[in-house]
Amino acid sequence: MPEPLTAKQQGVFEFICSHVRERGYPPSYEEIAEQFGFASPNAVTGHLKALEKKGYVRRSEKSRAIEIVDPSFRQTGIPIIGTVAAGTPIQAIENREGTLGMEDLFGTQDTLFALKVRGESMVGAGINPGDYVVVREQPSVDSGQIGVAFLEGDATIKRIYQEPTGWRLQPENSGMQPIWVSRDDATFRIGGRVVGVVRRVQI
């Protein structure tokens, strides 16, 4: 288990961790010096040596080569390392630009939940069997938005339309019919709006 840190060492270590979480790579010595008002990068070296000795980081001679080895640290998100063309191929150059996390795509996670898709009713909207839909929990959606509805205890993903007599749950599949729900159906409620789709590619 790593040794306890001084207040200043703790601050430096937390800055390194937050930099890695937000950008996908550690800060340079110059960035650490600027963050804490050190007179020169040489002052950073002393703190990093202490962090390394106490088992929190590992260093090399490269500018950004600070590796976090503290087992309690977890990097959230997937590193973004550049761009890729979906049309004409482009040269693939690794250039870390940060990390991709749920909050980057969908905002705060406080009201998000995910559901695994079963069935083909929404394939026309690009939602396929086996996908995961990311849903923002809310009691209503605008007419025509894709949402999760609960009917008689079962959940379904449909494009939800408000109609004069209730709701129309419209599939995105020409071979399927809409589900009509009367306004006085006590078993019906809207669980949230679909804000994203996550798919694992099968190779």
The span from the CA of 168 to the CA of 123, in Å, is: 18
> Is 174 annotated in the active site?
no
Nearest Cα to 127, choosing from 194, 203, 197, 190? 197
| Biggest CA pair distance of the chain | 73
Catalytic residue among 28, 54, 158, 174: 158
Helix (H) or strand (E) holding 95: none
Helix (H) or strand (E) holding 88: none
> Is 121 annotated in the active site?
yes
The span from the CA of 122 to the CA of 55, in Å, is: 51
DSSP, collapsed to helix, strand or coil, labels residue 22 as: helix
Which segments of 36-111 are extended strands (E)?
A: 57-59, 66-68, 78-80, 98-100
146, two tokens: 């894709």
Catalytic residue among 121, 143, 174, 182: 121
Residues with a known catalytic role: 121, 158
